[in-house]
Structure 1
């Protein structure tokens, strides 16, 4: 009995000794860090908001370059977007993928369609409860699903981005292809979108955090040291202008304004709005980095040639001017095909507006802005011009601007006339100074009643 008790004591002492030894070894050895405890020296915060378009690409290129100049080693993209242009998303994805900095896609609300693709190119995806990712089927401007070839190409692009961080490629396909089934989450005929928990389970979210501050803590960044790179006011305007819808709208307003100005006397509201629209178009594309001074010069040169065509009829100068205008507008666009499409829409709508204006005011109403009304017809033989010598000394008012030709109202009648060369604005009192055959010369009446 004593022997058993002795053996038991020795065993208990040895066990205690080994436990103490193990505790000492664990205390001395470095402890493994949690998987989330990753720290960085300098971080920047970049918003990726609203629709994905070419203007956003230009801003992000500037933001990434600025972050690299500041020697940042962490870039956090705050993504909140319903999607946008596939071409712009592809360029942004490449920018993110090739960045030497560690890029985190932070999704606090939504990252659908093109936004999903951008997030998949980041090194990590972090989501908050209630946020969503997916629904990446491309659609046309009319709101319909794109053709099968385009969907197939975009699906492969999504899969390639998913493979960068070993994510399940079938999930990426299910986000794009309507006919692809994903058991338990997506039947055929729908597109897959994931909430934060589902994304974490499927490997499409690397971390879940409740707040922005929690995100910063996990990366060892203090809120005070975090720098935010925001788009400038001009970059915000550029993002708005380079949207395909706004781009087409600006061209429509610009062209329609020119046509309306031709029917209305004087350079007024229509002409001003037209110039502002074209100016906004070129400004936005210039800031976004798509337009340059050559494109603007081509447009201005074309306008000057079109004006010159008024005084040098023949068609050649006008044709060259038209080609120059079209070249400037299309070359300034981020994509030639999109530029042609937007210009085509604008020309079509302008043609419809011109048709209704001619129907209302007549074709002569347009021609009278540039030419005199008297004409000599060959089939009539020689016809002496109407004797208007009795108009000399009579006063009236300019109905249209004189550049130098125009129309005046004299003795209650419309009279085609010319000025000696000086510009006379519409509504200016005039007096007839000379009549030579059918040529009536007027000048501004400077006499006081």
Structure 2
């Protein structure tokens, strides 16, 4: 009996050891290939960060979620772009549940650095760089320091979002930032000093090797395939985002230059329609400009219903000022303010406005679109006035097409009807029945006539003219 128990115990221990070894083997394989049979979604970003890029990233993440992708790889090469668009993408990446990998395929500057920093992992191509995130204006000039504060806070917060990792130092475990927030801030502010990296006299831009050394990069790769191999993703299916023609078209329409042109068309069309009512073509141009301006912004999620309604309200107020209360008073001023406000706020991601009162968001983010709209509207108005004076005055060919300029001269047969032709009290004969309108003959000449008080008078009846009004002789039957 004792031998039987010993044998059973031995076999149980042997079975447990086998199971343990088997489990260790499985665990080791899973650790070596955590993405076995993975679905990888690839999103290329190789242009400036614009509102269209936000739409592109949104659709990509939605498709990746639908495919149950194991990870999303962002293949990026960008020199920056619009700050609020970059912040929207940053937030989406930080909140995305699946792992995200940024592949800096040459450059991740300015807004691109913010987006790359939001990814869970960063890989860089040899010769690539990340940093130089100082806020600049449209001409490339560095904005004052107060405009850098929002970018500095975003870079710090994004770095801190990746938390701390343990490291062994002299036998002790020390928790350090995975991405050093101070280095992230130094990418924006030249005055931020980082020991052994910068003395606080220049903005930080890291090469691939420097980024690896300072914990801002997991490794170097020359291609997406090499990146996936370094990340331990060997068995995978790769899906690459392909923008539709609609995405490309919307991205084209949201170009700032075209947006300014659409504003010029809107203002010019409204101006000419008010100058030449009834022509129609200027109104069509204004409507087309408004559709091309608001539609892509609405599709991008920037423009909302209230902004379009505010713009239309402004137009109605201006029309009321011109045609109902002539002059230029309160309605006209309110109309102009409403139009400019509606056009400007359509360019702003209203979700960011909550940061303005706290001072985290530079006021330039709000004032910039207003300045663009005001300048574009001013240019549109000046061009409209110049165009009107140049082509709708005198005897220009365009003026002859839209304005009646012909002179109706007596020599050409155009003769006005005299107010009183001296025919009142004259007798005549109806040449047609008057029912009540018809014709009468007086002194051998035919005249337009009508029965007095709309009375019916037959043909060939003697009549007397009672009055002559507007070229018509009003007649009554002659009493015998």
> TM tier, shorter chain?
0.5 to 0.7
| TM score, norm. by length of structure 2 | 0.62
CA contact (8 A) 1:235 1:288 kept: no
Q: CA 1:202–1:407 in 2, change beyond 3 Å: closer, same or farther?
A: same
Quote how far apart the aligned CAs of 1:361 are: 7.2
| TM score, norm. by length of structure 1 | 0.66
Task: Give, in whole Å, the separation in 2 of the partners of 1:319 and 1:176.
Answer: 41
In structure 2, the partner of 1:154 is 151
Specify which of 86, 109, 113 is matched with residue 110 of structure 2.
113
In structure 2, the partner of 1:196 is 208
Q: Deviations over 1:111-150 (max 9, x none)?
A: 1111111111111001121222111111112321122122
CA contact (8 A) 1:247 1:342 kept: no
In structure 1, the partner of 2:81 is 84
Task: Give, in whole Å, the separation in 1 of the partners of 2:417 and 2:369.
Answer: 51
Q: CA 1:212–1:412 in 2, change beyond 3 Å: closer, same or farther?
A: farther
CA contact (8 A) 1:254 1:273 kept: yes
Larger Rg: 2
In structure 2, the partner of 1:95 is 92
Task: Give, in whole Å, the separation in 1 of the partners of 2:28 and 2:391.
Answer: 85
> Is 1:334 paired with 2:334?
no
> Is 1:168 paired with 2:164?
no
Specify which of 237, 257, 261 is matched with residue 249 of structure 1.
261
**3-state SS, counterpart of residue 173 of structure 1:** helix
Q: Deviations over 1:346-391 (max 9, x none)?
A: 22223433554576579xx59xxxxxxxxxxxxxxxxxxxxxxxxx
In structure 2, the partner of 1:386 is none
Specify which of 216, 230, 237 is matched with residue 228 of structure 2.
216
Task: Give, in whole Å, the separation in 2 of the partners of 1:331 and 1:194.
Answer: 36
Task: Give, in whole Å, the separation in 2 of the partners of 1:410 and 1:242.
Answer: 48
Quote how far apart the aligned CAs of 1:87 are: 1.7
**3-state SS, counterpart of residue 406 of structure 2:** strand
In structure 2, the partner of 1:280 is 292
Specify which of 208, 228, 244 is matched with residue 240 of structure 2.
228
Q: CA 1:278–1:436 in 2, change beyond 3 Å: closer, same or farther?
A: farther
Q: Deviations over 1:63-90 (max 9, x none)?
A: 2123212222211111221111222211
1:355-366 matches, within 5 Å, as 356-357=386-387
Task: Give, in whole Å, the separation in 1 of the partners of 2:415 and 2:201.
Answer: 78
In structure 1, the partner of 2:134 is 137
Task: Give, in whole Å, the separation in 2 of the partners of 1:34 and 1:195.
Answer: 33
In structure 1, the partner of 2:250 is 238
CA contact (8 A) 1:54 1:334 kept: no
> Is 1:62 paired with 2:59?
yes
**3-state SS, counterpart of residue 252 of structure 1:** helix
Deviates more, 1:70-79 or 1:249-258: 249-258
Task: Give, in whole Å, the separation in 2 of the partners of 1:80 and 1:130.
Answer: 12
Q: CA 1:250–1:190 in 2, change beyond 3 Å: closer, same or farther?
A: farther
In structure 1, the partner of 2:373 is 343
Specify which of 28, 35, 48 is matched with residue 39 of structure 1.
35
Quote how far apart the aligned CAs of 1:435 are: 8.2
Deviates more, 1:258-267 or 1:334-343: 258-267
Q: CA 1:232–1:173 in 2, change beyond 3 Å: closer, same or farther?
A: same
CA contact (8 A) 2:155 2:184 kept: yes
In structure 2, the partner of 1:352 is 382
Deviates more, 1:338-347 or 1:124-133: 338-347
Task: Give, in whole Å, the separation in 2 of the partners of 1:235 and 1:138.
Answer: 28
Q: Name stretches of at least 5 consecutive residues in structure 2 with no aligned partner.
A: 1-20, 163-177, 351-365, 421-469, 471-480
Task: Give, in whole Å, the separation in 1 of the partners of 2:325 and 2:400.
Answer: 24
Quote how far apart the aligned CAs of 1:208 are: 1.5
Task: Give, in whole Å, the separation in 1 of the partners of 2:76 and 2:63.
Answer: 19
Task: Give, in whole Å, the separation in 2 of the partners of 1:91 and 1:270.
Answer: 38
Deviates more, 1:97-106 or 1:241-250: 241-250
CA contact (8 A) 2:264 2:381 kept: no
Deviates more, 1:276-285 or 1:230-239: 230-239
Task: Give, in whole Å, the separation in 1 of the partners of 2:138 and 2:82.
Answer: 10
Task: Give, in whole Å, the separation in 2 of the partners of 1:342 and 1:206.
Answer: 41
Task: Give, in whole Å, the separation in 2 of the partners of 1:431 and 1:63.
Answer: 71
Aligned residues: 361
**3-state SS, counterpart of residue 215 of structure 1:** helix
CA contact (8 A) 1:75 1:103 kept: yes
